[in-house]
Structure 1
Amino acid sequence: MAMDVNGTRFHLLYTQPDWGACIAMDDGSGRTLATRWALIDDEDQPPLEWSGNPTDGYLQLARQAPLFRSATETGQLDINRRRGADRDRYGHWYWIDPQQGGIRFLANDERESVKFWTWADQPVDCDPVPDGGDFVDAVEPMPDRIDLRGLAVTTRHYLVVGNVTQNGILVFDLHRGGPPLLLQWPEDTPFSPWDMAATPDGGVLILDRDNLRYWVLDQHFRLMAETDEEPSLFQPDDGDPINVFGRVFHPQGFPLIPGEPDQAFAPVSIESGPDGHVLVLHTEPGLPSVIDEYDSSGALVVKYSLEDVITGIETELDETGELVSISVHDFAYTACCVGDIEDCDSCLDVTAALGGPERMLHLLYVARGDGNQVIAFEMDRDDLKLDAQKDYLPLRRWEAKALVAVDGKVYYDFADRWVPLQIFVDCRYARRGLITTPADFVAGNKGQQFDSGLPGCVWHRLLLDADVPPGTNVYVRARAADDPALLEKTVWQQQPRPYQRSDGSELPFYETEMAEDVSRGGTWELLFQEMHGRYIQIELTLEGSGRSTPKLYAMRVWYPRFSYLDHYLPVIYREEPGPASFLERWLANFEGFYTHLEDQIDHMPRLLDPRTTPADALEWLAGWLGLVLDPLWSESRRRFFIRHAYELYSRRGTVPGVEIALRLYLDEEVGEWLFEPDCWGGGDVRIVERFLTRSVDPRLYGDPSTQDQTGDPADTAHRFTVLLPHNLDEEDLQMAERIVELEKPVHTAFELKRYWDLFRVGEARLGLDTQLGESDLIGPLVLGAGALSDVYLEAQYPFNVRDRLISDRDRLGDLPEL
């Protein structure tokens, strides 16, 4: 247990489990924060939450979802305003026009859309001329009008559009171009496409709103349904069947399963979900929406109800949020791989609260029925529930065509363009939260949290590493007793308001978590008033403004008090209890000042260790070794340089020493591997000693102007060449030259060169600088941006397309797998 020079110790709350053991007092249930945080129901969550990783975060007032506030009553969007829309792999957008008879196209980086295709572009046959008739005026035939519903672009670059009139779908090959292919359902099979979504395997999902079913098409646009495994007709003569198949292809959709009578059951949108599942959104006017999840066999896995699904704040005057149900116009699904998240503002990223091992994050974005806001939900795959995110995602003048998820981002239509959904920084927090430290002490047990082990202990100070923005406050009450049974009956005593220490943490050479506004972030301190007893219980009240919140990183409770009155003044000063108590607390101010200085003196050896010395002392420590640190270096690189200064000095004047010094300056990352012999000579810095090279007759590589002449071997002795990457600027080259001058032996000579490729005639060393194979430095030719010897002429479209059979490129018997 840590203590200061006076023998004073402290109890610490720092990690999420530490703070989670505290009791939330808002509902009177006596449950801990950890217990409440683990609950599924949003209404049972406490007004305090943990933000960040479990071992490196802070306690704050709970964020609440701000809801869009409209000056006038906004009605629900008409579901018929929805249009199918999607984006292809090149960033081009496609959507169905307002007349539902054509397709609009918006090219990447363009601002105005153009017609892509309409029903009038269908090929038609001319009417036959009647036999024996007279000449009549020719009338241009017009095709029959068709209505389009639902649109998707598959991962294999096909545009699929629902054809309601002709009971089928239109398939456009975006690589080949030309007219669409019409795929029709059988006449006896009811089919009315409403919405579509592409699947990761190149197929497409089709929602049939009228017939309450959905269809699954594979990458070849064959209708699919899951069946039991059946043996195929072709089998070996002997033994068990080895050729089986488990998917059949016939016009059979998957029926949608109704829910409870009071739940919405009007399918309006479909998405490809996690694990190959299918997500279907149901919305009924006046009822909360429901999202159904079906597995690959069409079985209903779970129903996600959006009734009372989020705690939201309607106005700035709301003290507490209320549970809100959501009616949805459209939704989108995204998945991404996340891991440890650093330097992430919880107000700006829905994944900021995540940490630990890498995992998949599944997010649903639902657009409210009034068209003003999108709300994000994380799909909890373990508990099969939706966790509402607290980000404010407003929609600006949304025309309600669709929400489209592409490459992890969600887009919505704005006029004639498609813009990504952006988080508007409008953080809302609960206004008040109250917790107490646990008081479940067991009499006689030692080592318990907030148990001093000293009867009649005088508790000394409370210090908080905290960020307390203007308009927020932290209040402290405490009580102490020698008997755990009496502690809960002891009256709470209000303690002084914490004040911010001007010299940082009371711990020597410890840097606290600081806020962006350093005037309110740091260490906050109070001196306990009349806290006597072995056990102590502390009550913390966090008050916010609704827009900001205090953030508590750590709490330290120091005990017992080192009294200057008892140790340094005569007994006469302690005879009167009242004046003695005042004098003891007054002298405690001086004790805190001098103890901090004495602790720093006691921990002076930390200043001499580059791993523990404060960042502002690194220059001072480097001066002891005669080192000068680059002001542009990061703190970690400075510490590494000082820690290995002896090894650098011991290798000064050697080839490894020169290489290590250069890599220490040039490499993006440095580590212990710099001093391992196996890593020498394999980085971006190459040092070629001239005596290791041999001259080659220049005529062999096309230079007839000179003749091979054997020179004096002494001409190459004590000379070397330093090869550096070609992308270094002039300032880096000058610094590299200075480093080599300092590190090389004084009697040697060198030259500094840039290299484009290590295989340099007359300078490359076999086995060290040579490697046979394709070079990743050679890229495709870009006009005006490459040298002829460094690029290659790339195959032109469509010969670079990999998911099609290309005439004059692919040969029978050697066709690519499609």
Structure 2
Amino acid sequence: MDANGTRFSLRYGAADWAEPLAAPGSRDVAFDARDGAVALAEVARLIPVPDSAAALTEAERRGADRDRFGSWYWIDADRRRIRIARGTAPAADFWSVDQLDAPACPPEEADADDLFAPALPPTPAHGDMRLSGLCVTTGDYLAVGTLRPAGLLVFDLHGSGPPFHRTWPEEARFRPFDFEATPDGGLVILERALDLDPPDPDADPDPGPRHRRLDARFRPVPTGADLTLAPEAQALFRVPGAPPETRPELTFPEAWPADLGSPAPVLAPRAICALPDGGVLVLDTPQSGPSSIARFDGDQPRGEVVLDAALLAFMLGEGAAIRAHDMAFLPDPDQPPGPEFAGDLAVASETGDQAFRFRLTGDADGFALALLPDHLPLRRFAGRGIVAAAGRAHYDLDERWLPIAARPQRRHRADGVVAGLIFDGRAPGCVWHRLVFDGRLPEGASLTVESRAADDPATLADAEWRTEPAPIRRGGGPETPPRLPFGPDGTVLPATCGGSPDRAGTFETLFQAAAGRWLELRLTLAGGGRVSPRIQALRVHYPRFSYLERYLPDAYREDPVSAAFLDRFLANPEGMFTTLEDRVAAAETLFDTRTAAPGHLDWLAGWLGATLDPDWEDWRRRLFIDNAELLFRWRGTVPGLRALLSVAVDDCPDLDALAALRAGRPALDDRPGREIRVVESFLLRRFGGVELGDPGGETAAPGLAFAAEGAPYAPEQGAGPLHDAWRDYVTGLHAPDPAPASDEAREAETLAAVAAAWGRPLNSLSALALSPVVPASAGEAADWRAFLAGPVGFVHAAVAQSDAPAWRGFLERRYGAVSRLNAAWQRLGDAAFPGFAAIPLPAEGDYPAAGARLEDWLGFVTSALPIARAAHRFSVLVPAAPGEPPSARSLKVERVRALVAREKPAHAAFDVRPFWALFRVGDARLGIDTTLGESARFAAIELGRSALAEGNLAWGLPWTAPDRRVVGRDAPGPTTTGETRP
């Protein structure tokens, strides 16, 4: 209801539009769930094919498939080789029939006394063999059919070596044509004759198309009809070249005839697909006429659908039909097991220029196909087959495999009607005000509104239709104060969208003479086939608030004709004024981030003195305004900065951190995950044992770890061990190479080398002593820093004269009074310090020898000074996904850097690093900054594209195969399942 008491009735969403779209008068319209709008029904389009174009033949259907690791396999044109391709690498030969030839040096021809007999030319044993049919099972086996002899090749894709080849009994008349993997690890096989050779008049009659199923061990599944083999026949699945076995009687499961019991026999099948319920689909493309798809459950037919005009006329036009070359079924991934199933069926046309997508649904009684309006062109389809892999259908272009992708070229019915839109005005004689709808009217599209009204619903159908004025786009957007969502992402398009190519916005028309309690509308949508009007939300306002009735004298209503015109004329300014009055009445919506329009968010943030980043999404801007007062209150603190960064950058902001701030209990710990981290530098320091004790536990000896002697160092030992370690380090660093034979010569040469490196004379090596501060000599200072960073074994800060104030402050905090320091250091009389300001740094070469002075100095250089140097410094760690483009990663880092520079305390310094720079030896906090175990970050590295340490170089494929033995993983013996796999 608006400010004047006018109500509106709303149609919005699939539920509201379901009844009108199903009304008897509605036609050629549908609800598009992609943007939640009513539009002209989409239709599929046929790509025109030149008359001279050659159709794909059944001979090109040789077989192709992809394994779970991204490798493609297919049978080459000569039917003697299997090709393989992976990624962007060129295709190569995977296997050839020639590899099944006889040994190069047969045992009977080799010299028994000569172990290195010359290799004889290979004797082709399979010169007539041809390959037909191929698939990769869910158990990672590559199964390939063979002709002459008829049989099966099985490749273990987790292993290496030759395939396992088994021939089938000749009585079985095995003629593989198309293979399809089943979910249980087996496969279904379509059998039919191929015109590879001239017909043989002496051959047995063709049994016709058939299909059969093999289990996970590639054994034929019993069909209820067994073929009895003669006693002299070869054994089932004999190995070529092996001597025949004679048995009393052998049986072999027969195949199911593909045309048994079908309403129309399957004459020329092109493809077979396995269904989740255990049945199969068979694609039949006869020499003339449309293709058909039949469903079988063993030898029982479960329905047939012909791809002719009866099915396709609505989508493709009258007389349309599809002659298909291949198909692939993609079941819905989340469907529960059972007799009912659903999925998408991709069908490639025989012309090779386009594919069609059907929605397939089925149950125990049958199945149904519904053509979807996707435009799926194929570019130079080679015809090897359509392969379902990784949830998509793929086709082959030359020797590459590409996904079948829908092109954004929608085609619609030329016009359509929405009928059955009936509204109740709740009062007799209701004057209907206006019709408003949110949607799109592209160029070339039109919407015609017709109305009729009556007080009695029984007489409404007899009233005459009246055509209303064409809808006009409103300049101010939707008229409702809490604006209704318009776009598919839930946002309202701005008022300036009228100039956009699709003319999106809010449109309205004024009812001319619709009066009566009941109103019926009929909407005619037209677009010529290329475009369509789109109606998302439709609102009918009633009753009319008449300025003529409310504000003008009776004299203006004396003439009915002029009064009706004036009433409609005044309805135009009434609509503008009412919109303004509604917004004034609903002003509180402007102050609520849930209802404020996107254009008002900057204004709303200005009330808090905040500036919104123009790159932020709408939901992020609203979240920031909701928590602005909280973030400002905690500004400059680690929890506040972390919460602000999460709101500004994370795809899923940490709402728990905001809740903790609101409760006054900020979480200071960095939890493992992919959120942005704020790590203060002082948390990364390495502590010495003087201040904090030994981190190794109660059983470890107290003190500092002393690498030079391999034992802990305690201040009670005095400075002697430090000087000894320094002397040993310098001597070993500058020792001559090769060393002289005598000790005196070796010591003299070492002393000379040290003096030369340090640039000052030295009396003897025994006089070398560790300096407490940075030595003045550059050479000595370099050796001194290297010694403190390594062999000393514990943190020892490099102290310079500029650190004298920090030294005095440390002593003052430690003792409180200078008298206590003098007593501890045993400085009495004139040697006592008058105050802390008079205490100097130890001079070069004057390392504190022992006692409290040594303990104080070690506490300063191992704990106090490193902490002071790391104070007010922090690092911001930004998560970086392995597959993230470098440009997006750099943009995220720069956004974080700009935000931290604005929000950090003025005296603090910081740096921003990507997330994988977090784990550094000596820096990371194990268990806090790192998470051990598998992670999505550990992906395979691609040379030239991946960053170092971004993933793993090797892919452990064999380790994912528990049903077979893998070299390097398993010990000899049976598999984990106790079976011997092919």
Give the TM interval when normalised to the shorter protein.
Answer: 0.7 to 0.9
**C-alpha displacement of 1:48:** 0.5
Higher helix share: 2
1:811 equivalent in structure 2: 971
1:12 equivalent in structure 2: 10
**Mapped partners of 1:162, 1:140: distance in 2:** 24
Match of 1:333 among 319, 329, 333: 329
Deviation per CA, 1:620-671, whole angstroms, max 9, x where unpaired?
Answer: 1111111111222111111101111122233345442232123223422225
Q: Does 1:528 align with 2:544?
A: no
Secondary structure of the structure 1 residue equivalent to 2:212: strand
Give 1:24-43 correspondences, 5 Å limit: 31=24
Distance 1:720 1:74, change over 3 A: same
Give 1:469-484 correspondences, 5 Å limit: 469-484=442-457
Q: Does 1:494 align with 2:479?
A: no
Higher mean alpha-carbon deviation, 796-805 vs 108-117, is at 796-805
Deviation per CA, 1:221-249, whole angstroms, max 9, x where unpaired?
Answer: 2333489xxxxxxxxxxxxxxxxxxxxx9
Tell me if structure 2 keeps the 8 A contact 1:209–1:268.
no
Counterpart amino acid of residue 585 in structure 1: R
Deviation per CA, 1:72-103, whole angstroms, max 9, x where unpaired?
Answer: 27675433342222334454443333343444
Tell me if structure 2 keeps the 8 A contact 1:363–1:376.
yes
Tell me if structure 1 keeps the 8 A contact 2:223–2:255.
no
1:47 equivalent in structure 2: 28
Counterpart amino acid of residue 205 in structure 1: V
Distance 1:735 1:165, change over 3 A: closer
Match of 2:437 among 464, 482, 485: 464
2:288 equivalent in structure 1: 286
Secondary structure of the structure 2 residue equivalent to 1:11: strand
Tell me if structure 1 keeps the 8 A contact 2:478–2:506.
yes
Distance 1:613 1:188, change over 3 A: same
Q: Does 1:393 align with 2:376?
A: yes
Tell me if structure 2 keeps the 8 A contact 1:64–1:311.
no
Tell me if structure 1 keeps the 8 A contact 2:963–2:975.
no
Deviation per CA, 1:438-494, whole angstroms, max 9, x where unpaired?
Answer: 45xxxxxxxxxx111222221111112121111111011111122222222221111
Q: Does 1:710 align with 2:870?
A: no
Secondary structure of the structure 1 residue equivalent to 2:283: strand
**C-alpha displacement of 1:715:** 7.6
1:185 equivalent in structure 2: 168
Deviation per CA, 1:304-351, whole angstroms, max 9, x where unpaired?
Answer: 44344643589xxxxx93263433222112235479xxxxxxxxxxxx
Tell me if structure 2 keeps the 8 A contact 1:457–1:559.
yes
Distance 1:70 1:167, change over 3 A: closer
Match of 1:422 among 405, 413, 433: 405
**Mapped partners of 1:645, 1:298: distance in 2:** 70
Distance 1:570 1:808, change over 3 A: closer
**C-alpha displacement of 1:770:** 6.8
**C-alpha displacement of 1:804:** 4.7
2:486 equivalent in structure 1: 512
Counterpart amino acid of residue 524 in structure 2: T
2:344 equivalent in structure 1: 363
Q: Does 1:658 align with 2:641?
A: yes
Distance 1:715 1:121, change over 3 A: closer
> Number of residue pairs matched?
732
**C-alpha displacement of 1:689:** 8.2
Give 1:631-710 correspondences, 5 Å limit: 631-670=614-653, 672-677=655-660, 681=669, 682=671, 683-688=675-680, 690=682, 695-696=687-688, 703-705=790-792, 707-708=794-795, 709-710=858-859
**C-alpha displacement of 1:545:** 0.9
Tell me if structure 1 keeps the 8 A contact 2:276–2:341.
no
Distance 1:271 1:601, change over 3 A: same
**C-alpha displacement of 1:17:** 2.2
2:570 equivalent in structure 1: 587
Deviation per CA, 1:171-221, whole angstroms, max 9, x where unpaired?
Answer: 344555544432111243332212212334443322222544323233332
**Mapped partners of 1:205, 1:287: distance in 2:** 27
Higher mean alpha-carbon deviation, 568-577 vs 710-719, is at 710-719
Tell me if structure 2 keeps the 8 A contact 1:259–1:265.
no
Secondary structure of the structure 2 residue equivalent to 1:274: coil
Secondary structure of the structure 2 residue equivalent to 1:437: strand
**Mapped partners of 2:940, 2:963: distance in 1:** 20
**Mapped partners of 1:789, 1:482: distance in 2:** 77
2:601 equivalent in structure 1: 618
**C-alpha displacement of 1:269:** 1.8
Counterpart amino acid of residue 810 in structure 1: D
Deviation per CA, 1:89-148, whole angstroms, max 9, x where unpaired?
Answer: 45444333334344445564245665841458622688988xxxxxxxx99744341233
**Mapped partners of 1:225, 1:778: distance in 2:** 46
Tell me if structure 1 keeps the 8 A contact 2:65–2:134.
yes
Deviation per CA, 1:421-442, whole angstroms, max 9, x where unpaired?
Answer: 2334442211111222345xxx
2:367 equivalent in structure 1: 384
Deviation per CA, 1:502-548, whole angstroms, max 9, x where unpaired?
Answer: 22222236263458936621111111111121111111111111111
2:307 equivalent in structure 1: 306
Q: Does 1:725 align with 2:727?
A: no
Distance 1:541 1:680, change over 3 A: farther
Match of 2:58 among 60, 75, 79: 79
**Mapped partners of 1:215, 1:576: distance in 2:** 86
Q: TM-score, normalised by structure 1?
A: 0.79
**Mapped partners of 1:70, 1:779: distance in 2:** 44
Tell me if structure 1 keeps the 8 A contact 2:326–2:385.
yes
**Mapped partners of 2:446, 2:873: distance in 1:** 65
Match of 1:195 among 146, 160, 178: 178
1:37 equivalent in structure 2: none
Counterpart amino acid of residue 7 in structure 1: G
1:160 equivalent in structure 2: 143
Q: Which stretches in structure 2 are left out of the alignment for 5+ residues?
A: 110-119, 194-206, 225-250, 488-492, 661-665, 689-703, 711-788, 796-857, 881-888
Higher strand share: 1
1:66 equivalent in structure 2: 45
Higher mean alpha-carbon deviation, 664-673 vs 641-650, is at 664-673
Counterpart amino acid of residue 684 in structure 1: I
Tell me if structure 1 keeps the 8 A contact 2:918–2:924.
yes
Tell me if structure 1 keeps the 8 A contact 2:130–2:147.
yes
Higher mean alpha-carbon deviation, 548-557 vs 375-384, is at 375-384
**C-alpha displacement of 1:253:** 3.6
Question: What is the RMSD computed on CA atoms of the aligned residues?
Answer: 4.0
Counterpart amino acid of residue 328 in structure 1: A
**C-alpha displacement of 1:12:** 1.2
Larger radius of gyration: 2
Higher mean alpha-carbon deviation, 579-588 vs 771-780, is at 771-780
Q: Percent identity?
A: 37
Distance 1:804 1:500, change over 3 A: same
Distance 1:463 1:384, change over 3 A: same
Q: Which stretches in structure 1 are left out of the alignment for 5+ residues?
A: 25-29, 34-45, 130-137, 228-248, 315-319, 340-358, 440-449
Distance 1:458 1:767, change over 3 A: same
Distance 1:529 1:328, change over 3 A: same
1:223 equivalent in structure 2: 220
**Mapped partners of 1:460, 1:790: distance in 2:** 64
**C-alpha displacement of 1:768:** 4.9
**Mapped partners of 1:360, 1:707: distance in 2:** 68
Higher mean alpha-carbon deviation, 793-802 vs 718-727, is at 793-802
Tell me if structure 2 keeps the 8 A contact 1:158–1:174.
yes
